[in-house]
């Protein structure tokens, strides 16, 4: 993809999946802050964390990096020129 390329519907589907997982992980984090001994919630958090890592990997393999500053790899050529950027969706 270059800076002028439009993305397909799969981009938006995958981005929505990541946003849903992120939302659930934030909510579970807040819950676990006040209920640290809830084993079921902790197991759900760990399961969703693994799903989020896998979803992010699939997204980045297909569309490029999600995060900057060494949190995501970039293929050649440098992919941060490609839009839309994850925070623009």
DSSP 30-46: HHHHH-TT-HHHHHHHH
pLDDT tier, 66 (very low <50, low <70, confident <90, very high otherwise): confident
Spatial distance between the Cα atoms of 16 and 21, rounded to a whole number of angstroms: 9
Spatial distance between the Cα atoms of 11 and 53, rounded to a whole number of angstroms: 16
Average the pLDDT over 74-78 and give the result.
55
pLDDT tier, 65 (very low <50, low <70, confident <90, very high otherwise): confident
Residue 61 has pLDDT above 80, yes or no: yes
**Residue 69 or residue 24, greater confidence:** 24
Residue 8: the pLDDT is: 87
pLDDT single digits (tens) 7-50: 789 999 999 999 999 999 999 999 998 998 999 999 999 999 99
């Amino acid at each position: 993809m270059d800076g002028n390329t439009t993305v397909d519907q799969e981009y938006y589907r995958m981005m929505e999946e990541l946003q849903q997982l992120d939302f659930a992980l934030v909510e579970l984090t807040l819950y676990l802050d006040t209920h640290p001994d809830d084993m079921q919630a902790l197991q759900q958090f760990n399961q969703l964390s693994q799903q989020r890592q896998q979803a992010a990997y699939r997204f980045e393999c297909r569309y490029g990096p999600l995060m900057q500053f060494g949190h995501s790899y970039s293929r050649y050529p440098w992919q941060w020129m490609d839009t839309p950027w994850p925070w623009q969706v």
